[in-house]
Amino acid sequence: MRGQIENINEKITFSYADGEYELRSHPYEPCLYIFKDDEMIKILHNAFDVYDLPSIFEAGETVRAINGKDFDEETFCSVLIAAINDTHYEMDWPFAAELVKNETV
């Protein structure tokens, strides 16, 4: 697996080889905010409310993006990695998901 989403002490974390990130969200749009060492490093628009993600993925279920595509935990984590590694500070979820398709890894 390329990463893992967990609820640790009421914080939603994303861990992979590069380190640990905190995920936060704003339900109105919704936006997904990625933090590293308490500093916001990325904003993903049209994303997900992160607080339900650990239980969804633990149950083996998927989440559906605004563009109608379903994401399991592994694919979701791949999108987060692509967004973290991209030079854009802000992007929407479908754009971040397209970055995965363009990876040469």
Whether residue 27 is preceded by a cis peptide bond, meaning omega within 30 degrees of 0, is no
To which residue do tokens 């969804």 refer? 56
DSSP-assigned beta bridge partners for residue 26:
31
Q: Mean pLDDT across the chain, nearest whole number?
A: 90
CA distance 13 to 84: 14
DSSP 64-94: E-TTS-EE-HHHHHHHHHHHHHSS-SEEEHH
User: Which tens digit of pLDDT belongs to each residue from 50-98?
Assistant: 999 999 999 999 999 988 999 999 999 999 999 999 999 999 999 999 9
pTM for this model (two decimals): 0.90
